[in-house]
Amino acid sequence: MKKKLFPTLLFNYLSFNYLFCFVFLGYTLYPNKILAQKNNNQKLPFELTRIEPKEWWVGMQNKELQILLYGKNIGTAEVKIGKSDAGNIKILRTEKPENQNYIFLYVDLADAKAGKFEIILTKEKEKKPIIHTYTLLTPEKPREQYVGFTPADVIYLVMPDRFANGDPKNDVVKEMNPKAIHNRNEPFGRHGGDLLGIEKNLDYFAKMGYTALWLNPPQENNQPDQSYHGYAITDFYKIDARCGTNEDFGRLVKSARQKNLKIILDMVFNHCGSEHWFIKDLPMKDWIHQFPEFTQSNYRLSTTVDPYVSQFDYDKMQMGWFDRHMPDLNQRNPHLATYLIQNSIWWIQYFGIEGIRMDTHPYPYPDFMAKWCEAVFREYPNFNIVGEVWESSAITSAYWQKNSKNAKNYNSNLPSLTDFPVSDALNGAFNENDGWNTGLSKIYYALVQDGIYPNPEQNVIFLDNHDVSRYATNTGKDLRKIKMGLAYLATLRGVPQVFYGTEILMEGGGDNHGKLRGDFPGGWAGDKVNAFTQEGLTNDQKDLQNYTQKLFNWRKSATAVHTGKMMHFVPDNNVYVHFRYNDNNSVMVLGNNSNDPRKVDTKRFQERMKGYTSAKNALTGETITNLSELLLPAKSVTILELMK
């Protein structure tokens, strides 16, 4: 830098003198010509290339709006509000960070109405300013009508790149990386699935009894490689062109709603892709966590509740990078915090999504995450958010649920979380013989921990997801075990979530992410097997798919398992019995984990069976008139609707 300093200064000095002579002489000789040049040809020394968010709404609870202005040297501009038919727009603050390519403009919308107003960027009076016309919209519906998923829903998790290719033309987008579509046999490449593929198959989801779709992030992931999963976002406001367009996403949300399917969008606030435009030109040094050398998170969520934790471990968990190509965002930077909060509100307001699944929820600063949830629910009191809390102990999981009692008096404001303790139990139970704390007792003990959750019925429960070994793999493709798992998913407290393909025995181990996120058969033209039509499925696959369909369609109207109370009885001799009940309905669920049929004397369950004289098998429709002794098939779960 020092070497260059002198020649640069000298050049500036000389050029200034030349310029001065030229301007002076020119002005004297041809004054009109020079003035005309000033107005038309002399460009301002800055540019405006990006504005986020592109639009906003009036009538929001939070009246303050951050507008990010980006462009070369824009920080040297003066900012004014010009003409407005959107009411009185007041500038609260114009914040210019150390990188001159950014301005964070904060405006007050308290007196705003729907319409347009000008943002004027200027520097020297005689030069034509840059004028951007900003739009304020009226919300489509009252804020109370932006509803989220509930325990009455069944969530189906779909990875957009791997479900169905609705538009082969968008498989490769020239300007994006990688430049070529990967062979579909390449587990870590892009396979071409997209939003249109999901939209074309809405009838399949509805038919199966799923009522909500959680999509792994379809937001732009323009990374050199391996970003088919969506968790390395490079533009928070844009659908990845390989998945489709923002318009496609909006249409998907609307078409899904017509079929009573809710769309839950995955979001990531902990990190973004290394190719994100603002990472390549950081607004300020503390926008991300930076270290002298690459520092990775220790991924230990336990550090957030551990009474003996060291500051070293705690900081590493919060500030370490998730991966080399995923810079760790610093949500304690107030501009970034506001940016992220507004981004989530924009997706809800613009598209009407019906839920957010927040990735790596405990990894950003807990104080920020609590503030974020509060801000979302302040705008949309009936919305819902599930945070990914990948932790096998209930005490650590429960810490993250709204109103939890904990030593730090931390309140996350987060209604729902991913229930890994129950998932672990459902993955272990059927592979074991029943003992004091093995087999069905695993499920029993997992639920005993519920006392620590403020709202266990809000937990999202699952057998598998895009990060862990598939259920078919974990159960050795034993149809009986998989059906048991699904039956518990449908009847335990919580919001069930099914991973795409679980219903057709798709396999894959957690040690190979690319493979466990296989393509859904039938989603690609020319697929020999088609799970949408059952063409080419094995008998086992068909059987399981039919079972899943029956089970979750039954659940749609089973109000007792949505919101009813729960009572269970200590597992005994390989049999575990639980009830879900409300004033009008009572569901009795009997699990037999033994390899033999079991005759069960129901005397010990009288507390909940009193007054009932018969029952209907929820899946077979069979009526049972003798409730004193029930016959349970080997390795099975029987669901009975009790009748008076």
Strands 614-617 and 78-84: unpaired
Of the candidate residues 153, 194, 240, 354, the single one contacting Ca ion (CB under 5 A): 194
Q: How far, in Å, CA of 366 to CA of 348, rounded? A: 22
Q: Is 181 among the residues that bind Ca ion (CB under 5 A)?
A: no
Range in contact with Ca ion (rule: CB under 5 A) among 18-26, 185-193, 275-283, 530-538? 185-193
Q: How far, in Å, CA of 434 to CA of 443, rounded? A: 11
Range in contact with Ca ion (rule: CB under 5 A) among 127-135, 192-200, 269-277, 520-528? 192-200
Cβ atoms 629, 590 nearer than 8 A: no
Q: Is 218 among the residues that bind Ca ion (CB under 5 A)?
A: no
Element (H, E) at 394: helix 394-399
Minimum gap (Å) between residue 190 Cβ and Ca ion: 9
Minimum gap (Å) between residue 517 Cβ and Ca ion: 16
Q: Is 432 among the residues that bind Ca ion (CB under 5 A)?
A: no
Q: Which of 393, 331, 397 is CA-nearest to residue 366?
A: 331
Cβ atoms 346, 267 nearer than 8 A: no
Range in contact with Ca ion (rule: CB under 5 A) among 167-175, 256-264, 349-357, 416-424? 167-175
Q: Which of 499, 481, 592 is CA-nearest to residue 544?
A: 481
Q: Is 165 among the residues that bind Ca ion (CB under 5 A)?
A: yes
Q: Is 170 among the residues that bind Ca ion (CB under 5 A)?
A: yes
Between the two ends of the chain, the Cα-to-Cα distance in Å is 87
Given the residues 359, 379, 391, 464, the one annotated as active site: 359
Q: How far, in Å, CA of 64 to CA of 379, rounded? A: 13
SS3 assignment, position 237: strand
Q: Which is nearer to Ca ion, 64 or 171 (CB)?
A: 171
Q: Is 209 among the residues that bind Ca ion (CB under 5 A)?
A: no
Q: Is 47 among the residues that bind Ca ion (CB under 5 A)?
A: no
Q: Which is nearer to Ca ion, 114 or 181 (CB)?
A: 181
Range in contact with Ca ion (rule: CB under 5 A) among 118-126, 158-166, 272-280, 327-335? 158-166
Q: Which is nearer to Ca ion, 167 or 543 (CB)?
A: 167
535 secondary structure, DSSP code: B
Taking the CA atoms of residue 623, residue 627, residue 629 and residue 635 in that order, the dihedral angle to the nearest 10 degrees is 50
Residues 6+ apart with CB under 8 A from 210: 154, 155, 156, 261, 498, 552
- Amino acid of residue 329: L
Q: Is 601 a catalytic residue?
A: no
Q: Is 434 among the residues that bind Ca ion (CB under 5 A)?
A: no
Cβ atoms 177, 185 nearer than 8 A: no
Write out the two tokens for 302: 């336990």
Q: How far, in Å, CA of 552 to CA of 545, rounded? A: 11
Q: Is 192 among the residues that bind Ca ion (CB under 5 A)?
A: yes
Given the residues 388, 434, 519, 527, the one annotated as active site: 388
Range in contact with Ca ion (rule: CB under 5 A) among 7-15, 165-173, 545-553, 605-613? 165-173
Q: Is 240 among the residues that bind Ca ion (CB under 5 A)?
A: no
Q: Which is nearer to Ca ion, 188 or 581 (CB)?
A: 188
Strands 130-137 and 55-57: parallel
Q: Which is nearer to Ca ion, 162 or 481 (CB)?
A: 162
Minimum gap (Å) between residue 169 Cβ and Ca ion: 7
Write out the two tokens for 502: 């679980």
Q: Is 388 a catalytic residue?
A: yes
Q: Is 478 among the residues that bind Ca ion (CB under 5 A)?
A: no
Q: Which is nearer to Ca ion, 176 or 356 (CB)?
A: 176
Q: Which is nearer to Ca ion, 194 or 354 (CB)?
A: 194
Write out the two tokens for 355: 């839920």
**How many residues bind to Ca ion according to rule CB under 5 A?**
6
Question: Which residue is it, tokens 């004014």?
Answer: 80
Q: Is 636 among the residues that bind Ca ion (CB under 5 A)?
A: no
Q: Which is nearer to Ca ion, 248 or 328 (CB)?
A: 248
Q: How far, in Å, CA of 221 to CA of 257, rounded? A: 26
Q: Is 200 among the residues that bind Ca ion (CB under 5 A)?
A: no
Of the candidate residues 95, 108, 171, 374, the single one contacting Ca ion (CB under 5 A): 171
* Sites of contact with Ca ion (CB under 5 A): 165, 167, 170-171, 192, 194
Question: Which sequence positions are flagged as catalytic?
Answer: 359, 388
